Each structure stands twice: as structure tokens, then as C-alpha cells.
Amino acid sequence: MVTKLEIQKHLKYLKNGASKKFIELFNNFDEEDLCDRKNFTGHITASGTIIHIPTREVLLLHHKTLDKWHIPGGHVDLDDDSLFEAALREVEEETGLTAEQLIPINLIKNKPYCVEINSHPIPRNEKKNEDQHYHHDFRFVFAYTGNKRIHIDLNESLDYKWLSMSYILPSAAPTGYEKAALENVAFVFASNGEPIKFNQGLNNVPVQRNW
């Protein structure tokens, strides 16, 4: 199970810190409730940004429920040993890629740390009777050098695409869900160590289908 001690270690190494909403959540709930998907004050999720090194492209999935493009990720399970393990499990489930194919980036003392905790609202889901709430997403980064044709989980995603890094520039960008979905995606390519921001919405980027 994910512990508060582990979370504190991630907070220690975050370049830009965490949101006020996350700090309030962390201070007011115990470890089990922090990751409980039925905690509608908010809860922790984990995701993995996958960068295809040969082409410098980033993997996006078209989320079936939210109808948005985002990076692979999802809820933390009670039997996940760590936030990194949760992110890796979600990536494996949603993309078909395995741990052996993925190289963790942003290692500190030989351990992978998230590059961001992205806090964003999730709309009410009538079908699941889930109230609107916040996801506090611990985002890890993986390098990948294999075939770009992957096998997504069609129960979770409608499609996938590889987004060229040429669409990502070190400049301010309009706000929006699409921008938030991939902030810090180019963390490892920023020459000055600062996160690279989007200059346009992802829904305007041409889709590359790989079936």
C-alpha cells in the first residue's frame, strides 16, 4: 500500500511543488483514503508519460469515458507497493507495453520519482453515480525505443496517437484539460531543466493511427 512517507519523498523532490488542494487532502486523510476512488473530496492517481526516443514522440490515449486525449494512467490499488508500481501497472494494462520495454526516467538515488503532481477536476459520472471530484495525478516518465504499434485496452480507450515533440515549445500556453494532460511531458528534453509547456491544444494535432 502507498504510504504517506513515500508521498513525502516525492514531494521533497518536486521542482514545482504540489497544489494547495493536494496538500489539504494529504493533511486531512489517512493513507487508505488518499487512494480511495470513492473519496470524492479527491484521491491520488498515477500515470506514465511514454516518450518514444527514436522519434521523440509522446503516446496519448483517447479516454473512453472522458472523451479526452491523455497519457496512460489510472487509480491506485491497495495492493500496489508504490506509486511508481501503480503507474507502471496502469501503463502495462492500457498500452500492452511491459516493464522490460520501458525505461524509467527521473531517477534519484536509483529510484524513479514523479516529475509532477497534476491536480485536475473530474466531472460527475452519472452511470457510475460518482460525484465530481479531483484527481491528484503522480506523473512518471518512461523512455521507449520499440515498435510504435501497440495494443491498447479498448475497454478503457477508443484510440491512440503519437504526438510529435515539435508540437511542444518552451513557451506559455492556453489553459485547458488538453494542456494539463501533458504538462512536464518533455521534462527530460528541457535544456534548462524547466518543464516544457504546450503552445496549442492536443485536439488540434493530426491523429496518427497505428492499427
- pLDDT digits 0-9 by tens, 160-180: 999 876 655 444 343 443 444
Q: Work out whether strand 133-144 and strand 157-164 pair parallel, antiparallel, or are unpaired.
A: unpaired
Quick one: the chain helix, strand, coil %, rounded to 5?
25, 30, 45
> Rounded to the nearest 5 degrees, what angle is found at the Cα of 32, between the Cα atoms of 30 and 35?
105
Phi-psi region of 87 (alpha: psi -120 to 50; beta: other; left: phi over 0): alpha
Q: Which range among 37-46, 161-170, 176-185, 200-209 has the greatest average pLDDT?
A: 37-46
**Which string of DSSP letters, residue by residue, matches 168-188?**
B-SS----SHHHHHTTTTTGG
CA atoms in the 13 A half-sphere facing the CB of 53: 12
Please state the pTM of the whole predicted model. Answer: 0.82
Surface-to-core class of residue 153, CB atoms within 10 Å of its CB (0-12 exposed, 13-18 middle, 19+ buried): middle
Provide CB contacts within 8 A for 147, sequence distance 6+: none
CA 102 to chain centre: 15
Q: Which of 53-57, 59-63, 113-117, 149-153 has the lowest mean pLDDT?
A: 53-57
